[in-house]
Amino acid sequence: MKAIISSAVVAVALISSTTAIPTADQAPRNLQRRWDAPPLPPCSQNNYVPFTYVGCFVEPNPETLQYNPNLVFSTMTVETCTATCKSNGFRYAGLIYFGNCLCGTMLPPTQAPDSDCNAPCNGNPNEMCGSNQRFSIYQDPTYPAVDLSTIGSQYTPKGCYSEGVGYRAVTYRQDQLDFNTLTTEECLSACGHEYYPLAATEYYGECYCGYMLQGGSAPADSSNCNLPCNGNQLEICGGANYLDLYEATILESTQPCGTLPPPPPSTCNGTAYGYATSSNDVDKTFISLGIGNNWGWVIQGPIPVSGNLYLGAGGNDISKATIVGTFTIVEVGSNLVVTYTTNAPWYLSSTHFYYGTTFPSKIAPGKFGNVHTLSTPATTDSFTIPYDASKTTYIVHAGISSQC
């Protein structure tokens, strides 16, 4: 099981006071922390992929950034906040009003203009730490994409675990769920929709969600988890001071704290040509037309035109090639719009498009008349060209890059 399961912290007194947002010369507030243990030390700055800026958000009520690590208000920086949220298993870090740092699993619901986040950080005035009732939000980019419609099925059972000492083993009780009708599936869905990687059922009808085990919780004999769920007597919902634990690794970082960022990937480059699959269009090879010795196709026919982008079709044999994307050629008003789309891990590094009444005398993509060199590899690109009904000959070419 991942480190998220095995982490444990020393029990100390629970801080649960709540005060208003401080002014610039006041001490920071302490948001209520339900059953939260003290934060783990921040990640070393060189031991994790840096968080990326998401935007400025309105402070919600209640908070969606639910964890307050109680960091030092007077010396707060973006790096201090993100490193602490990273080490404690949260995907979002929020900074508010000069020096308060909060962590969470979900973004606040309402975005604000970036100009609203104009309070310089106490520890680095060159950085912005939100403002009054505004969060500057940063995101850990190492979390996988998630389909919430099936998130409950992504949890796997980890067995019976003891309850924590001094702190709940799994932090946040889901009070909105009815104790008298709780099922395992209901608990997993609730935790998943709040992006918690840990879910636990306990004592007939209690559901808890969290980000890492706390309070010294440890695996226990399965006989300790022997109480049926109130909502389904065929399921077990933990025991008295024991919980049935579930984990969804898709809700965890793929590079936990302490994992060195991978070196920049090597890039492989290749060439792709468009091959029309639209019914009224014809594909002719360069060799058959006597305009080139390499593989590739001239497309002739009426618009709309659509087809695949093939990489590595040596000898014009598409059975040996890789489809890396698609293309479309359509008329939009008085323009011809050509759109290239690739599928990860294939990216467009350049695009070339030929448009004429007949095919060129030789193949030279750089002289096709329509050229885009992309400074950043992308999965889509397009040309908008004045439409000419007399022109029904096309060559669709793309430079392709991929990690290798």
Q: How confident is the model over 270-297, as pLDDT tens digits?
A: 999 999 998 889 999 999 999 988 999 9
Q: What is the pLDDT of residue 261?
A: 57
Residue 225: pLDDT over 70? yes
181-222 pLDDT, tens digit per residue, is 999 999 999 999 999 999 999 999 999 999 889 989 999 999
pLDDT for residue 258 is more than 70: yes
Degrees to nearest 5, angle at CA 243 with 9 and 213: 20
| pLDDT attached to residue 4 | 44
> Identity (one letter) of the amino acid at 230?
N
Return the pLDDT at 23. Answer: 35
Average pLDDT, the chain: 87
Q: How far apart are CA 88 and CA 392, in angstroms?
A: 60
Beta-carbon contacts of residue 292 (< 8 Å; ≥ 6 apart): 286, 362, 363
pLDDT tens for each residue of 317-356: 998 899 999 999 999 999 999 999 998 789 999 999 999 9
Q: How far apart are CA 204 and CA 268, in angstroms?
A: 55
Predicted confidence (pLDDT) at residue 34 exceeds the cutoff of 60: no
Confidence of residue 113 (pLDDT cuts 50, 70, 90): very high
SS3 153: helix
Residue 19 CB contacts under 8 Å (≥ 6 apart), including other chains:
29, 30
> What domains appear along the chain, each with residue ranges and CATH number?
39-139 (no CATH), 148-251 (3.50.4), 267-403 (no CATH)
More confident residue, 61 or 351: 351
The pair of three-digit structure tokens given for residue 122, joined into one six-digit string: 């106490």
Contact in structure between 230 and 204 (CB atoms under 8 Å)? yes
* The pLDDT of residue 134 is above 50: yes
Q: Which residue has the higher pLDDT, 74 or 2?
A: 74
Report how far residue 45's alpha carbon sits from residue 262's, in angstroms, rounded to the nearest whole number.
Answer: 14
Chain mean position to CA 256? 15
C-alpha dist (Å) from residue 292 to 80, 260, 269: 59, 48, 21
SS3 284: strand
Q: Give me the pLDDT at residue 268, please.
A: 81
Q: Is the pLDDT of residue 363 over 60?
A: yes
Report, as an integer, the average pLDDT of 232-248. 97
Joined together, the tokens standing for residue 170 give 């799994």
